[in-house]
Amino acid sequence: MINSSPIDNLQSFLPSDDVLSQCIHCGLCLSVCPTYNITKLERSSPRGRIKMIKSVAEGEGSISGIFSNEMNFCLDCQACETACPAGVQYGKLVESARVIADEKNKSFSFKIRIKRLLLNSILAEPKRLKYFSGLLRVYQQSSFKSVLEGNESIKKIFPKLSGVLKLAPVISEKLSSDEIEEISSPEGEEKYSTAFHTGCIMDSAFAEINIDTIEVLKKYGCKTFTPQNQICCGSLHAHNGEIEKARELAKKNIEIFEKGDYEFLISNSAGCGAFMKEYGEILAGDTDFAQRAKVFSSKIKDVSEFLFDKKPVRQFSNIKMKATYHDACHLVHGQKIFSEPRELLSKIPGLEIVELEESTTCCGSAGIYNVMRYEDSMKILFDKMGNIKRTNAAIVITGNPGCILQITAGAEKFNTLVKVYHPVTVLKMALCD
């Protein structure tokens, strides 16, 4: 559990010295680390940050501005975990260090206060999120949007503002939670009993993808339980130093989903699915929830992971499109899901999948990283869009909302003529009557 004053006792919060000492300093993480490849500084690499964390934990280093900056400069993409021969759980280390860094800086950092407001007072509160989403939709449909984002004088005064605003999700006309029934019956024979997590951003800005997910599950013979009062999974909170709020949200979701009878709990957001699979770990020390969380996590399946070896009730129709596939970090590195979505999409006749160079490298979205560190994010996105452009694909397929937003913004910013789709949207197109 987090100490009430984490700065006073860093060792009580960070993993044990055995975990901190796992890094063998082999350097295999360097080539896959986006931030190291920007700066070429050792401190901006996973092993450099681990050394900094260990130094602070042992009382030899301080929670300096450099320490805080490096912990938040990291995208937490976890590509280093995939490359690491020693099995270092780097993501957990840097997320723990962020709590300490943010705690020290919270009194004077405007960015941290804004981040906490977004995470704890909006995303974690369904009613406020719905209200905020409504306001954002009004803005997006107003003439004020084009004035604010296109005015040259404003661009000169606030050079980053226009770019950041273009990263904002386009709010759907209706929330998916208002459209999806609590119990969705399958088409034909019931083959599987599933539940579905609608998410927070997915619910308000990607309602169509959520609805497509339910429709695809129906066509695969799933009876699906979608509780109407479910909430944010807590992944953004855990990755950004708000672990106690993440635990609180996890407990609420467990209680809500325990009311249903299902074999698999489906997620269509890589970040959400990866974190919900960790509920058993983050609540391991909680007497009331440890076992319940373990059971909950054991049922989580990414939608592509669930569907790839199953047959729909009808054949796929022919889709003549050239596409490429971008691996969302928390799908490929967090959940170790690489081949499943590719094999699933390969079953669609006419869909040509061109392999993307560095497909498992982060696009720079990383939750709210692209908003909090816009310029760094754009440097990473530049390389990603260059690789996409070289495929000559018409569409990019990826399984995470942040990636969809980031690559869509990148297509406009770097003049790359592609559209971005979620795998279930492509499946829905191929399964349409």
| pLDDT per residue as tens, the chain (433 positions) | 333 344 444 445 555 666 677 888 899 999 999 999 999 999 999 999 999 998 888 888 888 889 999 999 999 999 999 999 999 989 988 988 888 887 776 655 677 778 888 888 888 888 898 888 888 889 888 877 777 776 666 666 666 777 787 788 889 989 999 999 999 999 989 999 999 999 999 999 999 999 999 999 999 999 999 998 999 999 999 988 888 999 999 999 999 999 999 999 999 999 999 999 999 999 999 999 999 999 999 999 999 999 999 999 889 999 999 999 999 999 999 999 999 999 999 999 999 999 999 999 999 999 889 998 999 999 999 999 999 999 999 999 999 999 999 999 999 999 999 999 999 999 999 997 6
Taking CA 182 as the corner, what is the angle to CA 404 and CA 274, rounded to the nearest 5 degrees?
40
pLDDT of residue 106: 60
List of residues 6+ apart from 282 with CB closer than 8 A = 238, 243, 246, 247, 250, 293
Name the phi and psi angles at 324, rounded to 5. Answer: -130, 160
| Same structural domain, 409 and 332 | yes
Q: Are residues 394 and 278 in the same domain?
A: no
Please indicate, yes or no, whether residues 338 and 292 belong to a single structural domain of this protein.
no
Domain total of the chain = 3
Q: Note whether residue 153 is domain-resident.
A: no
Query: 284, 307, 330 — which closes off a domain?
Result: 307
Contact between 143 and 150 under an 8 Å Cβ cutoff? The reply is no
Instruction: Scan for tokens 């990636």, then name that residue.
Output: 403
d(CA 266, CA 305): 9
Residues spanned by the domain of 28:
10-105
Residues 49 and 73 in one domain: yes
Tokens of 133: 């989403």
> pTM for the whole thing?
0.91
Quick check: is 160 in a domain? no
- Looking at 73, 89, 105, the residue that finishes a domain is 105
Rounded to 10 deg, the angle between the 401-413 and 374-391 helix axes is 80
Query: Same domain, yes or no, for 298 and 360?
Result: no
78 belongs to a structural domain: yes
Assess whether 76 and 180 both reside in one domain. Answer: no
Are 338 and 302 in the same domain? no
> Does residue 262 lie in a domain region?
yes
* CATH code, 23: 1.10.1060.10
Residue 161 domain-assigned? no
Calpha distance 341→352 (Å, rounded): 14
In 10 A of CB 392, how many CB atoms? 11
pLDDT at 84: 95
The verdict on 336 and 286 lying in the same domain is no
Q: 3-class SS at 244?
A: helix
Same domain, 295 and 331: no
d(CA 119, CA 252): 16
Residue 271 lies in a domain: yes
The backbone region for 289, taken as left when phi is positive above 0, alpha when psi lies in -120 to 50, beta otherwise, is: alpha
| In-domain check, residue 52 | yes
pLDDT at 268: 98
Looking at the fold, whether 326 and 423 belong to one and the same domain comes out as yes
Decide if 319 contacts 392 (C-beta within 8 A): no
**pLDDT in the model for residue 4:** 39
Domain end call among 261, 284, 307 = 307
Pair 233, 253: CB distance under 8 Å: yes
Contact 67, 101 (CB under 8 A): yes
Q: Are 94 and 67 within one domain?
A: yes
